[in-house]
């Protein structure tokens, strides 16, 4: 028997058990954990193979602003593990809605790109679009406060081009190395799997408060942009800076935008919570119904073009994904229109199995050295391999290009193509070297010949260290109601955080964005405002870096406001596809009902009659009118506006219906347009609606009422009603 002196030292799991995994509770009862349980408290970070990690904040690049290197085994291990953490549901963007459509170019863009679909104005390029929330699972609500994915697959004659973006133009992090950390933080906490589809919890704000680079994106996520009225009424952005290359080989930088022709509109936070309970499929249903009814959603594709010579002319770095290019500095040129005109035939086969990848490009479109984009170029293929079962996910019908595919790749799980012949390599002489490589002049893809002369380094360019100027620009650009909504959102989210130190740290971040914002959030939380933020080393710099070298540089933007950043300045000239509730009962006046109903429908609105019961109601003229919903099944949060027609018996019935009064009060509270025939004023008097406020239309003349009502609905909301702060945003 070996003595203790001769016993070999314990290693691996055994040592870990001895050192960490046998905790001593206060009651002295030893609770031995399972051998495979790990506790990282006071431990050093390592790879999965035990190698100590010196820098978990930055990927390995060819110079501070250079491309991310394939050599970065630490990044690849981290991203690969993350990509395979959920099977088979997407880790992020699990809940989505899709639709088919076309893209049509307005004017040839040959001056800046040789991409065929951006040169030929005669063709219609087929597209498939998938919209999604980010944080929630497939069973979560459409109306969670969240970023929305906006991914477009162009089936071009040169292969598939995927523009994989969001409804916000920036992101939380600057380097792909931090993406698994971000998503781990915002997902339900791993010990209890709560909360679902929500960022209002400790782990998310703990991470954010230690990552000052997230400040700009936090402003967007806490704004009304995170609560779109419809997927059809939100912008889309490519997020990253890409390159366009023309036939002469001249490159320029580009930012991609999608501009909705219905304008950019949101719901109120209180309303979003109600919708989640009434109809968690609200966005999905809205998109489907609009397409089925022929009210096809439309967006214009916009580009911001920056010549390579102007790469360093801005106060921010074009390669920084936490920054946008204000439209006042580089206007958005609208170059084409996308129309979604067909719903999927099968949700799983199309919407669920569609596989996007930022690396799916065509000649004339290329990448920049944005370090978040560089990491995504690796991650997407890796994700699809596990989610869709193997390397042949490109053969699933929704993912197939419209052009033939020929290469030497063979076999693999679920292979559909039957390749003839014995040759599957290149070069070969047995098959005339087929398939042959394509010369660049004949349409072959060639990467942009960017000069690289740099050292391999794990670091971040100091041009990325301004974390607050654009966060300030965004907040200052918002209207007063939008600013109030951001304050309410931050107060709500941080109010759900249980750890006081995290709240205080986050308030320190807010002091760097806007003093009024920080003061009002601190007041709502009942916390004294800190003098200045503290940026902990473990949250923003490598372990061997100096604090002062990595702390945010104070940059004062010369641009104080950007009108494009506020939804108050969006399109407000249409009520096409807006849903209007008409509250009526037996005895409704025929003329009062029909005149307004028909006028609304003539300009593209959708009307529904809501009554005390289903079936039909009988008008004063003894006409039977079909009821669309009863007050038990309908809710004001599912409509954009409300109208109450005349008719003595109908008015009395609606006035006596408690659910009808609640319907009107709630619509008023959520700042919607409300109209009533003057003879229906008894109903209005039973509510707490102030008839003198904006968006309230009462008139005896049906024509005048309709004209004013249509104008009011097109305004979307009358947020000025919130000034008394009667309702949370």
Residue whose C-alpha is closest to residue 262's, from 333, 337, 325, 335: 337
More confident residue, 446 or 493: 493
Sign of the dihedral defined by the CA atoms of residues 434, 439, 442, 444, in that order: positive
Q: Is 93 a catalytic residue?
A: yes
Q: Do 162 and 154 form a contact (C-beta atoms < 8 A)?
A: yes
Average pLDDT of the segment spanning 246-250: 96
Tell me the chain's radius of gyration from C-alpha atoms. Answer: 29
Considering only residues 85 and 116, tell me which one the structure prediction assigns the higher pLDDT: 116
The answer to whether the 468-568 and 572-722 domains have the same CATH topology is: no
Least confident of 104-118, 537-551, 623-637: 537-551
125 SS3 class: strand
pLDDT of residue 728: 53
Q: What is the pLDDT of residues 320-350, one digit of tens each?
A: 999 999 999 999 999 999 999 999 999 999 9
Alpha-carbon span 317 to 624, nearest angstrom:
65
pLDDT tens-place string over residues 696-716: 999 999 999 999 999 999 999
Distance CA 314, CA 473 (A): 15
**pLDDT band at 248; cut points 50, 70, 90:** very high
Give residue 508's pLDDT.
Answer: 93
Average pLDDT over residues 35-63: 85
Question: What CATH architecture is 69-199+221-313+333-399?
Answer: Beta Barrel (2.40)
Quick: pLDDT tens for 13-25. Answer: 444 434 444 444 4
Confidence grade of residue 1 (pLDDT, cut at 50, 70, 90): very low
What confidence tens digit (pLDDT) does each residue in 516-538 have? 999 999 999 999 998 777 664 43
Would you call 166 a catalytic residue per the annotation?
Answer: yes
Q: What pLDDT is attached to residue 542?
A: 44
What count of Cα atoms within 13 Å lies in the side-chain half-sphere of residue 42? 4
Q: Which of 58, 166, 399, 476 is catalytic?
A: 166
Which one is catalytic: 58, 93, 274, 589? 93
- d(CA 15, CA 21) in angstroms, rounded, equals 9
Separation between Cα atoms, residue 33 and residue 698, nearest integer Å: 70
Tens of pLDDT, residue by residue over 470-517, are 999 999 999 999 999 999 999 999 999 999 999 999 999 999 999 999
- Residue 153 region, left (φ>0) first, then alpha (ψ -120 to 50), else beta? beta
Distance CA 204, CA 187 (A): 8
> Per-residue pLDDT tens for 202-215?
999 999 999 999 99
Residue scoring higher pLDDT (544 or 383): 383
Percent of the chain with pLDDT over 90: 79
What's the pLDDT band for 440 if we cut at 50, 70, 90?
confident
Least confident of 289-303, 425-439, 536-550: 536-550
Q: What is the pLDDT of residue 538?
A: 38
Architecture of domain 572-722 in this structure: 3-Layer(aba) Sandwich (3.40)
Q: Which contacts qualify for 399-402: CB closer than 8 Å, 24 or more apart?
A: 399/153, 399/160, 399/353, 399/354, 399/355, 401/155, 401/159, 401/160, 402/126, 402/155, 402/156, 402/157
- Cα 169 to chain center, whole Å? 9
- The residue ranges of every structural domain in the chain are 69-199+221-313+333-399, 468-568, 572-722
Q: How many residues does the chain have?
A: 729
Mean pLDDT of 267-294: 97
CA angle in degrees (0–180, nearest 5) for 286-290-291: 120
How far apart (Å, rounded) are the C-alpha atoms in residues 543 and 529? Answer: 29
At residue 2 the predicted structure's pLDDT band, cuts being 50, 70 and 90, is very low
Mean pLDDT of 547-552: 49
What topology does CATH give the domain 468-568? Hemocyanin, N-terminal domain (1.20.1370)
Q: What is the pLDDT of residues 588-619, one digit of tens each?
A: 999 999 999 999 999 999 999 999 999 999 99
**Average pLDDT rounded to a whole number, residues 114-136:** 97
User: Residue 488's beta-bridge partner residues?
Assistant: none
Question: Alpha carbon 672 to chain centroid distance?
Answer: 25
Between the two ends of the chain, the Cα-to-Cα distance in Å is 73
Q: Chain-wide mean pLDDT for the chain?
A: 91
| Burial group, residue 367, by CB count within 10 angstroms (0-12, 13-18, 19+) | buried
pLDDT tens per residue, range 387-420: 998 899 999 999 999 999 999 889 988 889 999 9
CA distance readout (Å), 633 to 99, 583, 630, 641: 28, 13, 5, 17
Contact predicate 278/629, CB 8 Å: no
Closest to 613 in 3D by CA, of 581, 578, 657, 649: 657
Provide the pLDDT confidence category of residue 558 given band limits of 50, 70 and 90: confident
Tens of pLDDT, residues 139-167: 999 999 999 999 999 999 999 999 999 99
Q: DSSP letters of 36-62? A: T----TTPPPB-TTSPBPS-SS--EEE
């Amino acid at each position: 028997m070996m003595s203790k002196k001769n016993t070999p030292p314990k290693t691996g799991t055994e040592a870990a058990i001895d050192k960490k995994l046998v905790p001593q509770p206060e009651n002295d009862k030893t609770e031995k954990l399972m051998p495979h349980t790990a506790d990282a408290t006071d431990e050093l970070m390592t790879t999965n193979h035990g190698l100590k990690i010196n820098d978990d904040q930055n990927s390995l690049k060819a110079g501070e602003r250079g491309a991310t290197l394939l050599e970065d085994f630490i990044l690849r291990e981290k991203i690969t593990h993350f990509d395979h953490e959920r099977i088979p549901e997407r880790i992020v963007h699990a809940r989505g809605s899709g639709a088919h459509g076309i893209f049509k170019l307005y004017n040839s863009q040959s001056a800046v790109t040789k991409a065929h679909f951006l040169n030929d104005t005669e063709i219609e390029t087929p597209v498939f679009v998938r919209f999604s929330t980010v944080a929630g699972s497939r069973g979560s609500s459409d109306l969670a406060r969240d970023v929305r994915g906006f991914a477009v697959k162009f089936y071009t004659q040169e292969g598939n081009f995927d523009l994989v973006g969001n409804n916000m133009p920036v992101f939380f992090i600057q380097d792909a190395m931090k993406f698994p950390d971000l998503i781990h933080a915002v997902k339900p906490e791993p010990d209890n799997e709560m909360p679902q589809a929500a960022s209002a919890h400790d782990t998310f704000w703990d991470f954010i408060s230690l990552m000052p680079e997230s400040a700009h994106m936090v402003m967007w996520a806490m704004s009304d942009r995170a609560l779109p009225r419809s997927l059809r009424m939100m912008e889309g952005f490519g997020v990253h800076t890409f390159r366009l290359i023309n036939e002469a080989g001249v490159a320029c930088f580009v930012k991609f935008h999608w501009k909705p022709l219905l304008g950019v509109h949101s719901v109120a936070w209180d309303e979003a919570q109600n919708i989640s309970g009434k109809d968690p499929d609200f966005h999905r249903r809205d998109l489907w119904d609009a397409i089925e009814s022929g009210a096809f959603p439309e967006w214009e594709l916009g580009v911001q073009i920056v010549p390579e010579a102007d790469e360093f002319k801005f106060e921010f770095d074009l390669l920084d994904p936490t920054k946008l290019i204000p439209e006042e500095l580089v206007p958005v040129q609208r170059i084409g229109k996308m129309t979604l005109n067909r719903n999927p035939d099968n949700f799983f086969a199309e919407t669920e199995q569609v596989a996007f990848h930022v690396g799916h490009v065509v000649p004339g479109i290329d990448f920049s050295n944005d370090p978040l984009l560089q990491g995504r170029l690796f991650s997407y293929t890796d994700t699809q391999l596990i989610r869709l079962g193997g390397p042949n996910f490109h053969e699933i019908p929704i993912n197939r290009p419209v052009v033939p595919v020929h290469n030497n790749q063979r076999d693999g799980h679920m292979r559909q193509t039957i390749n003839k012949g014995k040759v599957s390599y290149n070069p070969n002489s047995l098959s005339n070297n087929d398939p042959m490589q394509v010369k660049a002049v004949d349409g072959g893809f060639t990467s942009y010949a960017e000069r690289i002369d740099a050292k391999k380094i794990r670091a971040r360019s100091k041009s990325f260290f301004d974390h607050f100027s654009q966060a300030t620009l965004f907040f200052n650009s918002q209207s007063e109601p939008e600013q109030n909504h951001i304050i309410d959102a931050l107060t709500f989210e941080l109010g759900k955080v249980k750890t006081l130190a995290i709240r205080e740290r986050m308030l320190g971040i807010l002091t760097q964005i806007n003093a009024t914002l920080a003061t009002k959030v601190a007041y709502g939380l009942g916390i004294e405002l800190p003098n200045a933020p503290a940026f902990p080393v473990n949250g923003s710099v490598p372990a061997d870096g100096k604090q002062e070298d990595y702390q945010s540089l104070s940059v004062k933007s010369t641009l104080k406001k950007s009108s494009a950043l506020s939804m108050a300045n969006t399109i407000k000239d249409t009520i096409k596809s807006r849903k209007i509730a008409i509250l009526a009962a037996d005895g409704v006046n025929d003329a009062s009902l029909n005149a307004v109903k028909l006028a609304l429908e003539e300009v593209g609105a959708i009307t529904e009659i809501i009554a005390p019961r289903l079936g039909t109601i009988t008008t004063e003229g003894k006409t039977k009118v079909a009821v669309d919903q009863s007050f038990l099944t309908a809710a004001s949060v599912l409509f954009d506006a409300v109208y109450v027609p005349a008719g003595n018996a109908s008015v009395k019935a609606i006035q006596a219906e408690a659910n009808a009064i609640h319907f009107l009060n709630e619509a008023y509270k959520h700042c919607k347009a409300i109209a009533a025939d003057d003879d229906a004023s008894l109903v209005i008097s039973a509510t707490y609606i102030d008839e003198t406020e904006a968006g309230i239309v009462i008139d005896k003349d049906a024509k005048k009422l309709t004209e004013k009502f249509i104008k009011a609905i097109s305004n979307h909301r009358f947020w000025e009603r919130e000034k008394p702060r009667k309702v949370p945003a």
